[in-house]
Amino acid sequence: MAKIQVSTKINNENVDYLCEPHDTMLDVLRNQLELTGSKESCGSGDCGSCSIILDGELVCSCLMLAAEAQGSKLETIEGMSEGGKLHALQQKFLEKAALQCGICTPGFLMASKALLDHNPSPTETEVRFWLAGNLCRCTGYDKIVKAVLEVADDMKESA
């Protein structure tokens, strides 16, 4: 069966790949492009551990076909730090111990980044609703929510 050729921009680099019609975006990221930061946990859009930013929108990469990404811009966790310097959210998650086992963390970071991209000063309620699509079985969420709110505050002060 003929493979489908797809041209995308992933983390600001032009990336072309060949995929099967049934490959999900997550399959291609992890198995072909070796971008294994996005995790597969539920595979059905419930847990958010495969979250990426597609043309500016937060999506589950397990719930889209790799073929659908033709012409799109993708951001994955691998593109979050710049020049070896951690993104403010990554740094704050470390400082505030907003992770334990770490499986959900790339998804939480992408979701948190998408939130602050759209809404730089969210309320605690807005953070909790926004992150409701990301499941964490370790932290109890509180440290994650506080980390995101602190980064938003830091951004305000430095603005």
Nearest CB to other proteins, comparing residues 94 and 132: 132
SS (H, E, C) 47-86: CCCCEEEECCEEEEHHHCEHHHHCCCEEECHHHCCECCEC
Q: Minimal distance in Å, beta carbon 152 to other proteins? A: 16
Place of tokens 């930061």: 37
Q: Minimal distance in Å, beta carbon 13 to other proteins? A: 22
Among 5, 70, 81, 123, indicate the residue that binds other proteins (CB under 8 A).
70
**Cα gap 131→1, rounded to integer Å:** 39
**Cα gap 119→14, rounded to integer Å:** 28
> Residues near 78 by Cβ (< 8 Å), separated by ≥ 6?
11, 35, 37
Region from 7-15, 45-53, 97-105, 137-145 binding other proteins, contact rule CB under 8 A: 45-53
Among 117, 129, 137, 140, indicate the residue that binds other proteins (CB under 8 A).
129
Torsions phi, psi of 54, nearest 5?
A: -110, 115
21 lies in the binding site for other proteins (CB under 8 A): yes
Nearest CB to other proteins, comparing residues 129 and 140: 129
User: In the complex, which residues of this chain contact other proteins (CB under 8 A)?
Assistant: 1, 4, 20-22, 24, 43-46, 48, 51, 54, 57-60, 63-65, 67-68, 70, 111, 114-115, 129-130, 132-134
